[in-house]
Homo-oligomer: A and B are copies of this chain.
Amino acid sequence: MKETKKILLNSRPEGRPGDSNFKFETEQVSEPKEGEVLLKTEYVSVDPYLRGRMSDAKSYIPPFEVGKPISSLMVAEVLESKSDKLQKGDHVVGMLDWKERQVASAEELRKVDEDKAPLSAYLGILGMTGLTAYLGLTEIGKPKKGETMVVSGAAGAVGSTVGQIGKILGLKVIGIAGTDEKVEMIKNEFGFDEGINYNTTDNMTEAINKACPDGIDVYFDNVGGEISEAILFNINKFSRTVVCGAISVYNETSLPKSISVQPFLIKKSSMMQGFVISDYSDRHSEGVQQLAKWLQEGKLTYTETVREGFENIPQAFLDLFDGKNKGKMVVKV
């Protein structure tokens, strides 16, 4: 096959992204040169943070360029190798373009073992998702046994992993999610102590207060917005907030306003810190080892939503903003 489909950024979204921001094209696949491999895409990770890269705002990673392919973490099979490091038939993970076939430098790929975990797990629980949960919680949340943690976006890929790690570390864990089904899932499948459905709860501040009679020591924030406001009224002295995501405001066209956090931080000598997994690259391999160990011991489980077909990648991404995923969303190509 000499041609491949690819997905480009067609235009920058204003507010919520839609189909028109994406464009499908075909191109010729080049030949791998020395040190390169030809790859066939197997799984594509779609993640909320990609929304940021679709805008041209300065962020922690550079924006996508209009007219150029979108990229994300992917698992691919090596079809042809001009590198000593990889062989035909190997599976690799790397930050790759949204193409069915492509040539990439072997240096930028990491070989993964299909026997240790399903290939899609390397995009989730053993990939950025698991590392974000593990390193965000331990590095910024600094939880101590017996403390209370609240996780927003609890049924999501990161949130459900954070909750389970919290239980492994001896915390009381309360999750916030958007449907009763998700609330049941985080309690029954992921072992959260309590769950709150923010869509059916009138007074979130009270509901959180009731679920956390000893207050909140660690808040792992995946959503921002109103839910995080309700948290402020329940934080403990010396509490820590891991600001990991703000999916509730990613699509806002004007800067969102919230209750000022400063007076709460002073009152409670409390700390908030932004977390980006790329800052902790020196700890990734340690993290993957720990996560793989817990996974093999059966202490950690995960849910994924697998969509099928290369042409469905944009829709899978768009569905994240409606919370249509349970756990990590990936597309099998």
A270 on interface, CB distance cutoff 8 Å: yes
A267 on interface, CB distance cutoff 8 Å: yes
How many whole Å from A191's CB to the nearest CB in chain B?
Answer: 27
A325 on interface, CB distance cutoff 8 Å: no
Q: Are A60 and B268 in contact (CB under 8 A)?
A: yes
A274: chain B residues at CB < 8 Å are: 262, 264-271
Q: Are B259 and A255 in contact (CB under 8 A)?
A: yes
Q: Are A262 and B221 in contact (CB under 8 A)?
A: yes
Q: How large, as a class, is the contact surface on chain A? A: 35 or more
Of the listed stretches A68-76, A104-112, A242-250, A295-303, chain B binds: A242-250
A60: chain B residues at CB < 8 Å are: 237, 266-269
Kindly report which residue of chain B lies nearest to residue A263, judged by CB atoms: B246
Distance between Cα atoms of A272 and B261 in the complex (Å) = 10
* Residues of chain A having any CB pair with chain B under 8 Å: 58-60, 221, 224-225, 228, 237-238, 243-246, 249-250, 255-276, 279
Q: Are A225 and B260 in contact (CB under 8 A)?
A: yes
Q: Are B266 and A246 in contact (CB under 8 A)?
A: yes
Closest 5 CB pairs of A and B: A265-B274, A266-B274, A271-B273, A258-B260, A224-B262
A245: chain B residues at CB < 8 Å are: 266
A265: chain B residues at CB < 8 Å are: 243, 272-274
Q: Are B275 and A273 in contact (CB under 8 A)?
A: no
Q: Are A59 and B273 in contact (CB under 8 A)?
A: no
Kindly report which residue of chain B lies nearest to residue A245, judged by CB atoms: B266
Kindly report which residue of chain B lies nearest to residue A221, judged by CB atoms: B262
A258: chain B residues at CB < 8 Å are: 257-262
How many whole Å from A274's CB to the nearest CB in chain B?
Answer: 3
Q: Are A266 and B260 in contact (CB under 8 A)?
A: no
A261: chain B residues at CB < 8 Å are: 258, 261, 272
A59: chain B residues at CB < 8 Å are: 267
A246: chain B residues at CB < 8 Å are: 260, 262-263, 266
How many whole Å from A207's CB to the nearest CB in chain B?
Answer: 19
A244: chain B residues at CB < 8 Å are: 266
Distance between Cα atoms of A262 and B248 in the complex (Å) = 11
How many whole Å from A73's CB to the nearest CB in chain B?
Answer: 18
Distance between Cα atoms of A244 and B266 in the complex (Å) = 7
Q: Are B260 and A249 in contact (CB under 8 A)?
A: yes
Distance between Cα atoms of A118 and B267 in the complex (Å) = 32
